[in-house]
Amino acid sequence: MKQIKRLKRKKTSLFLTAAVLSLGILSGCGAESKEAKEARMTGIEQLNAGNYQDAIDSFGKALDESDGIVNSFELDVLKYRGEAEYKLADYKAATQTYGILAEVDGGKAEYLYYKAASEAAAGQAEDAEKDFAAAEEKAKNSKKSSAAAPGVSLAFTALASAARDAGDSELAAQYCNQAIERGVSGPEIYNQLAISEMEAGDYESAMSHYEEALSLADSETALVIRQNIAVLYEKEGDFAKALEQFKECQAAGADTPEVQREIRFLESR
């Protein structure tokens, strides 16, 4: 689940219904109905196509049509639903879904990481920090590397973003550096770190980390990062390079009203 934000020129902020499930003993096999299985598959297809609300509705139907006993099928559906809710930016619903998963499936670290990310994105910083700490404790006691735990990168990214939105760029950078030291590297982490450094006026480090983010990003994410680089050039007063970057982004598909406004502004300089 990828979540990456971009800067606006004059701002420093970046550009469930709960399932009623039996909290019984987990079972590896359940007599799920044909309707439940079909709804699950439909939901997965809708999720992959970016139709998040439709996917959530389908996953809800799959749960309604299931046997009502929490087993591997219900857990799988809930995982998919949590992902769809997060991508829809319904962070309150995602928090509830991951809370259910943590409650019925042994409080696994991955559910707590995703719950912390959802809480951070919803502006519930205190709850996010608490669940993140609980996830870290769970991960520490696991045989698997905590760097490889599902959700850990998203949690670090969301916590850094929330800290920066609260005006604490220093704390945001600390989260990013902690993630990198742990081997949890990715374009979102480096992008967040670069934004925090740019806000602190450390343009050289910010550019270095934007470039690191670009080296790890897919084409869609790279386009967002390049717009942030354009903002960095603008902050440095290099309007020619900023204009060049924005025009390249526009030609590559980022022909948004925001980019158009930036280009008009820079052409007037």
The residue ranges of DSSP E strands in 129-251, in sequence order, are none
Q: How confident is the model at residue 36 (pLDDT cuts 50, 70, 90)?
A: very high
Q: At 129, list the tokens.
A: 């920090």
Cβ proximity of 122 and 36 under 8 Å: no
Tokens found for residue 85: 């809710």
Residue 102: what are its φ and ψ, rounded to 5°? -65, -35
pTM: 0.81
Percent of the chain's residues with pLDDT above 70:
87
Per-residue pLDDT band for 145 (boundaries 50, 70, 90) equals low
Separation CA 233–CA 262 (nearest Å) = 12
Cα 44-45-47 angle, rounded to 5 deg: 65
> What number is the average pLDDT over the span 196-211?
95
Q: How many CB atoms sit inside 10 A of residue 185's CB?
A: 17
Residue-wise pLDDT for 87-137, tens only, equals 999 999 999 999 999 999 887 899 999 999 999 999 999 999 999 999 999
pLDDT score recorded for residue 30: 55
Question: Residue ranges of the alpha helices (H) in 90-168?
Answer: 91-104, 109-121, 125-140, 152-165
| 217: pLDDT strictly greater than 90 | yes
Cα(164)–Cα(185) distance, integer angstroms: 19
Closest CA to 112 of 99, 96, 97: 99
How do the domains of the chain map onto residue ranges?
108-269
Tell me how many degrees the CA angle 188-194-198 measures, rounded to the nearest 5.
145
- Distance separating alpha carbons of residues 97 and 18, to the nearest angstrom: 7
Neighbours of 197 (CB within 10 A): 23
- What is the 3-state composition of the chain as percent helix, strand, coil, each rounded to the nearest 5? 70, 5, 25
71, β-bridge pairs: 27
Does 1.25.40.10 match the CATH number of domain 108-269?
yes
Query: What is the structure's pLDDT at 69?
Result: 75
Say if CB 63 and CB 21 are below 8 A apart.
yes
Beta-sheet strands, E only, within the chain:
22-27, 69-71
> Of how many residues is the chain composed?
269
Instruction: Please report, in angstroms and rounded to a whole number, the separation of the first and last CA atoms in the chain.
Output: 39
Phi-psi region of 29 (alpha: psi -120 to 50; beta: other; left: phi over 0): beta
Instruction: HSE, CB side, 13 Å, CA atoms: give it for residue 169.
Output: 15
**What gap in Å lies between CA 68 and CA 89, rounded to an integer?**
27
pLDDT at 29: 46
Name the more confident of 237 and 32. 237
